[in-house]
Amino acid sequence: MQKLSTQKGFTLIELIIVIVLLGILAVTAAPRFLNLQDDARDAVLQGVAGSLESASSVVYGKALIAGQTGGTGSVNVGSGTSVTTVFGYPNAATEANFTNILDADFTNEFGTAVITGTPDAILIYSTAFGDYANTAPSASGAACSVEYTNTTSADVRPVITVNSCVQ
């Protein structure tokens, strides 16, 4: 004669296995849902914007000392490196200016692009975002970029805007 089991439910070991599997799934899937990479890129872009603010102030100080705060000019920022200026601030029309004042290599993680139809503004963008490694953004307000717009007159600071990577 066969004995029928009337017990129903899960054993303690089965419950522990399920909890462990859910933990492993949460650890591997959570970063995709939390979007930590874009938050990290935003933090780096905030740092780039801060560096631009600081470097612009230093260049303006040098231009002020050299008496070149009216119209366009050129300022030596050290080691024989010159930066073209507009009202004493770095000129956005020249990509080399930003390489020189930030002492940065814009070939790996970041790129620069002139905004279409606006020669007075430049984008510094993260090449790891979207398809930017293949196609550079060229529109004002492009995601995951810092936008630097030249000053329009003497004693007016350039406009530096961070466009978030998180969408």
Backbone angles phi, psi at 115, to 5 degrees: -70, 130
For residue 43, the tally of other CB atoms under 10 A from its CB is 10
Q: What is the pLDDT of residues 138-149, one digit of tens each?
A: 888 899 999 999
**Other Cβ atoms within 10 Å of 135 Cβ, number:** 9
What's the distance, CA 47 to chain centroid?
Answer: 8
Per-residue pLDDT reduced to its tens digit, 80-90: 888 888 899 99
Q: Which residues contact 161 (CB under 8 A, 6 or more apart)?
A: 49, 141, 146, 147, 149
Which pair of tokens denotes residue 159?
Answer: 């406009």
pLDDT, tens digit, 9 for 90 and up, residues 4-42: 666 777 888 999 999 999 999 888 887 777 777 888 889
Q: Which DSSP string do the residues of 13-75 spell out, in sequence order?
A: HHHHHHHHHHHHHHHHHHHHHHTHHHHHHHHHHHHHHHHHHHHHHHHHHHHHHHT--SSEEEE
Q: What is the dihedral of CA 125, 131, 134, 136, to 10 degrees?
A: -40
The pTM is what? Answer: 0.75
pLDDT over 70 (residue 103): yes
The percentage of residues in the chain with a pLDDT greater than 70, rounded to a whole number, is 93
